[in-house]
Structure 1
Amino acid sequence: MNSIERFLATIERKHTDRPACWLGDPTPQEALRLCEFYRAENINQVKRVCKDDIYAVEVPYHSPKCSAIYAAFDWYRKGSNVDIEHRTLTADGCFAKCEDLEDVKKTDFQWPDPELYISKEECRRIVEEAPGDKAVMGMLWASHFQDVCAAFGMQNCLVNMLTEPEMVHYVDDRIVEFYMKAMTIFLESVNGKVHALLIGDDMGSQRGLMISPALVSEFVIPGAKKLIDLAHSYGVKVIYHSCGSIEEAIPLLIEAGADAIHPIQALAAGMEPENLKKKFEGKISFCGGVDTQELLPKGTPEMVAAKVRELRTLFPTGLIISPSHEGLQEDVPPENIKALFDEAVKIYT
């Protein structure tokens, strides 16, 4: 199998020669350590040596105020990239003092138009740079729940969900519309050469959901379903990201049509691989599972290899083996990454 075939088989829970695996997107410091360890010129060479199956590309976005689509909204009206370097959900956003929908509309927030800031030529170029045998995944993020929290300030937003839901829905709808248009531009540009998109919202803490399942159902799932349905209309798989303990939200994400859940934060409550297999086997696939809180930073290569063997036994298919955080931190020894991939890419007989 090549990487594309292996990725699709894994995510569709079909037989594979081995599971698909993904390094994720290491921080610049960790990427440098890995390059030095593998004697590689860049992180893409590292991924090639590791036999990583997924080539991830950030959906390009360049406006006068930012250069990342996940920071497209200037909620604090400070401009000039401030949200990339100091991104927060808790500071008061421009709608913080709004008391009803009319107040929100009077704020006269300038909603960005992705068509002005996403170059179709750049979309095509970055996707065409992908190795022809790798599964290409667009990193759209489309974190509309996190964005709406930032728009009001998280505490204000969570209160407004209960007391003034109409204005939260209004802002969220505008955000979802932005991401749907951005997705359309990207997918229309790349001529069917993208196999998956990663979208999602962090809605879990270490011990449980940050909001109730009922509020997830009302404020997170409708936007997620619109985005998932749009991606599926182009024949593209959707990997849905949320850190933390989201066990209670997984049935809702299954109903919304997500193809896989990322990243299985292994030490969060209810996210133990055994529990996920018991409750959701055959209903959805997963991506992640190799703990980045304790195991990868502090464990030995032997311990990492043993965990990968355990995960492969639990999930002969339906699990893309990957660190349980896509942004691999510099506290992870390269030897442990080598152990992860050495075990993940073995062909078991």
Structure 2
Amino acid sequence: GLLRYFKAGSLTEMKDKLHDDVYPVEMPYESDTSHAIYTALSFAKHPTGSDFDRTLTVPGFFEDMEDPKLVETFPWPDPARHINPDDCRRLVRESPRDAAVVGVIWSAHFQDTCAAFGMENALMTMLAAPEMYRAVDRRIVDFYLKANEIFFEATRGYLDAILIGNDVGSQRNLMISPEQVREFVLPGSRRLIQQAKDYGLKVIYHSCGSIEPVIDDLIASGVDVVHPIQALAANMQPQHLHDRFGSRVSFCGGVDAQELLVRGTPDEVYAATRQLREIFPTGLVISPSHEAILPDVNPANIEAMFRAAHEA
């Protein structure tokens, strides 16, 4: 696909050809059951060894538990056994010198807490046994704080920012109420944000979907960049976000990956990207409106997006 279209031998070479000035580095993690930090915690109550174990609909380890003291009955992994500081240093130091280096740490404690109970049970536990929900979430955040400390110490002085991910939005609205986001999600996120700030890092906070009702809360929590602008989600129109929040936070995204990049022409992508630049003279990292480019996107549309982003 993309590498062949751009005649590149590697992802790094392709990014260089496109003049991509943001270089993400994912925190390395290796265990017998996981090869990525975002799959480090597996809560399937009846594991099958398949990818299905990672879905939020399977019964979770804490499915029927309501006593917070039972949190330690889960076999929590020790990040120090699975994160090699030398690998962290090597991956970050391989980044281009003129790029903004972003450590992708995910630390998706909301998703993981939902998986820990099974999503339906997690949302019921929020209301029926809130202290149990909080206890599991706190323990998950503790795991990520320890993992992140290893990564931050190993890469001190080389990172510019980090990306935290917690999907709380859907196409039309938040998945839970704004009050529940404030009560059950943001306390853990603030701990992770403060840790990054203590290392002098900018914080990019990822959530797919329509999250406009809690962007003020993210700003108050210390978020520097909201990722992404999911262009077709309700109340996430770029002009609206710029007018309401643009003086207080930056954004990343905005080039629609649901319809425009998939079905549009290169000329249409170019025009939409130029419009984004007009709305956001500053304060926007132009990128697709989701965190991945899927195989159904025409490479010519990617080329048009980058051309529009860089041309004077």
TM-score strictly above 0.5: yes
Work out whether residues 90 and 154 of structure 1, in 8 Å CA contact, stay in contact via their aligned partners in 2: yes
> Where does 1:229-240 land on structure 2 (aligned, <5 Å)?
229-240=194-205
Q: Deviations over 1:140-177 (max 9, x none)?
A: 10000000000000110101101100000000001101
Matched, 1:75 2:75: no
Give the CA deviation at 1:133. 1.3
Matched, 1:40 2:8: yes
Work out whether residues 66 and 81 of structure 1, in 8 Å CA contact, stay in contact via their aligned partners in 2: no
Identity %: 52
Q: Provide structure 1 residue ranges, at least 5 long, that are not aligned to the other structure.
A: 1-32
Q: Deviations over 1:96-129 (max 9, x none)?
A: 1113334x34x71011111111000000111111
* TM score, norm. by length of structure 2: 0.97
Among residues 295, 306, 314, which one is paired with 2:260 in the alignment?
Answer: 295
Aligned partners of 1:259 and 1:227: how far apart in 2?
13
- 1:185 maps to 150
> Where does 1:17-56 land on structure 2 (aligned, <5 Å)?
33-56=1-24
Give the CA deviation at 1:77. 5.3
Aligned partners of 2:149 and 2:65: how far apart in 1?
32
**Higher relative contact order, chain-length normalized (CA < 8 Å, sep 6+):** 1
Segments of 4+ in structure 1 off by > 3 A?
Answer: 77-83
Aligned partners of 1:280 and 1:272: how far apart in 2?
12
State the secondary structure of the residue aligned to 1:89.
coil
Work out whether residues 46 and 59 of structure 2, in 8 Å CA contact, stay in contact via their aligned partners in 1: no
Aligned partners of 1:96 and 1:266: how far apart in 2?
35
Aligned partners of 1:267 and 1:230: how far apart in 2?
33
> Where does 1:1-349 land on structure 2 (aligned, <5 Å)?
33-76=1-44, 82=50, 87-102=54-69, 104-105=70-71, 108-347=73-312
Aligned partners of 1:223 and 1:63: how far apart in 2?
25
Aligned partners of 2:202 and 2:46: how far apart in 1?
36
Work out whether residues 253 and 284 of structure 2, in 8 Å CA contact, stay in contact via their aligned partners in 1: yes
Work out whether residues 89 and 150 of structure 1, in 8 Å CA contact, stay in contact via their aligned partners in 2: yes
Work out whether residues 200 and 224 of structure 1, in 8 Å CA contact, stay in contact via their aligned partners in 2: no
Amino acid in the other structure paired with 1:54: V
Give the CA deviation at 1:81. 6.3
* TM score, norm. by length of structure 1: 0.87
